[in-house]
Structure 1
Amino acid sequence: MTDFQEFISRSMLWVEGLAAFIALFHYNRIKKQYWKFFVFYLILIFLCEAFGRWGNFTYFSKAKYYNYFVMPIQFIFFYWLYAAKSLKKPKLFFILSTIYLLSFIPNELYFSGSKIVFAFNYTFGCLILMLLIVMEYYKQITSQEILNFGRNRMFYINLGVTLSYIGTLPFFALYSPLRKHLEIWNIYFDYFLISGIVMYILFASSFIWGKQSS
C-alpha cells in the first residue's frame, strides 16, 4: 500500500471505532428497539477489523477469517436489517440469506480460496444487497415522510451502504484482472477505503440525526 492508503486504512479502523462509540452512547435511547442490534453490530465489526489488523492468524488464515466469518456477518446483518425490519419481509430475509450461503458452494468448487475477499461470493452478496437497497430507496421515495428524510435512520444507512458496498462492487468483482493494471487498481482501492470511512460516518450520523421510534 502507498503511504496515503496506509493512512486511510488506519483512519477507517478508528472511524469504525468512533461509529461504535457513538452508537453505544445512544444505546439507552434505543435499547427497547431493534436498533440496539445495530449498536452490537458496529461494536462487533470494529473488534473484527481490529483483530484483522493486529490479531494472530497462526491457526487460520486471514482469508478464511474474512470470507467465512466477517463478510457473512456483514451481509446477513444487512439482509436482516433491510428485509426483515425496514421492509418488514422476514420471509425474504430467510430466502436471501439462504441463497447467499449457498453461493459458497460454487465458490468452493470453482474459485480460489486464498484471496482475502472471494470475488464470486462478494459479488453475489452485493447483488442481493443491491436488490434490497433499490427496494429501500423505493420505499423512502414513495413514503409520506420523504420531506423529512433527514430524520430517517435508514436514509443514512442506505446511502452509506450504497457508496461502499455497491460502489466497490466492480473493484472486488474484477479484483484479479485489475491487479494487472495497478494505476486503475489503486484508484479503486483508494475509493474503497474512502467510501468505507464515509459509510461509517453516515452510520454514526444515523444515531445522531435519525429519529425513528421503531
Structure 2
Amino acid sequence: MKDITINSILDSMGADSAYLTDMWENCLDEKRKRYARNKFSLVLDKMEKLGYLKKQGYKSEITYTKLQFQDTADHIGFINNVIFTNESLITKSLKKLDSKKIFIDISKDLNSQKLNKLILKDYDLLINSITNMLELSSSIMLTVENTKNIELKKELKNSFKQIKEFLDESNEILMKFRGSNERIVLQRILNNRIPKPGCIKI
C-alpha cells in the first residue's frame, strides 16, 4: 500500500465542492500519474470517515463537499466517536482471534502465507480497524501541526496518546502466545498499514 497525502486530496477539489471525476483527474502521485480510480474512490470514503468530506450524488454525479467542524467540542466529539467505534471493533475481533491460528501456513522465508479461512472475517475486521486508527492518528498529527487553536491542539494530543496506548496494548494481546514466525508476519502486515504523518493509505 502507498501513502497519499490528505492535503493533496483536498487540493484536488479546487473549491469547497467538486465532482469525484474531477478530483480523480487532478490528484496525481509523485510520478505525476493518476491513481487507480477504484482505489481513489476508497480513499475518498476514508476522507469522509475522517470528517474531511461529505459525499453526495450517485455514479457519474458523485460530488464531495469539504466539511468544517463548528468548534473544538464538535471536533473532539467526532474524533472520540471514531476512536470508540474502532476500539470496540478491535476488542471484539481480538477476542474472536484469541488462541486461534491466523496463518495455517507460512513459507520458510516468511514472504508468503496462507490465511486460516475460518477466522478471515475477524482478521479483516481487526486489520481494517487498526488501519482506521492509524490513519486517524495521521490525520490528528496533520491538524496539530497546522492549527492555531491551542485548546484543540491540546485535546488532539491527548487523543493521539489514547490511540497509541490502545494500539500498543492491542498489539501485545494479538502477539501473545503466537509463534515467532507468525509474529514476524503479523508485524510486517501491521507496519505496512502505518501511514506517514498527514497521509492515508491507498
TM-score range, shorter chain: 0.3 to 0.5
Q: State the TM-score, normalizing by the size of structure 1.
A: 0.36
Greater Cα radius of gyration, structure 1 or 2:
2
Point out the structure with the larger helix share. Answer: 1
Higher percent of residues as strand: 2
